[in-house]
Structure 1
Amino acid sequence: MYEILLTSLIIVSFLLIAVVLMQPSKTNAASALSGGAEQLFGKQKARGFEAGLRRVTGVLGFVFMALAVALTYLSSH
């Protein structure tokens, strides 16, 4: 059981890294010079592909944490 969870954790971690790297950057040169206050207080929602990537990132992050807790529990018992 431990080996299956460990393999799952490794796979999820690589998927999480890939999804985070696929997300588009939010910074550009103009906002870096002005402090980026317009992006901080902007009301722009992610749409389409970006929204899907955010959702997948959240789900993979939750699965990663659950697997890590489960592995910790199994290794202590």
Structure 2
Amino acid sequence: MHTVLVILLVIVCIGLIATVLLQSGKSAGLSGAISGGAEQLFGKQKARGLDLVLHRITIVLVVLFFLLTIGVAYFKL
């Protein structure tokens, strides 16, 4: 059981790294920092298309990562 969880954990880690690297950056220097603050205050439409899909995939992979990590630690004992 431990070996299966470790293999799944490695696959999830590789997927998580890939999805984070594929996402576009939130800021582009000082102008990005200023517009980013304005977006938080006044609200802006959520990201659309590929960015939204990658964001949702990242959330799912992070939850799987934590669950698998807890599972590996539990079954290691």
TM, length-normalised to structure 1: 0.85
Preserved contact between residue 19 and residue 57 of structure 2 (Cα < 8 Å): yes
State the Cα distance separating 1:44 from its structure 2 match: 2.7
Asked if 1:8 corresponds to 2:13, the answer is: no
In structure 1, the gaps of 5 or more residues are none
Match of 1:40 in 2: 40
> Identity over the aligned pairs, expressed in percent?
39
Amino acid at match of 2:65: F
* Counterpart Cα distance in 2 of 1:36 and 1:47: 17
- After superposition, residues 17-32 of structure 1 pair within 5 angstroms as 17-29=17-29, 30-32=31-33
* Counterpart Cα distance in 1 of 2:48 and 2:36: 21
Give the direction of change, closer, same or farther, for the CA distance of 1:36–1:54 in structure 2 (3 Å limit).
closer
TM, length-normalised to structure 2: 0.85
Q: SS at the partner of 1:60?
A: helix
In structure 2, the gaps of 5 or more residues are none
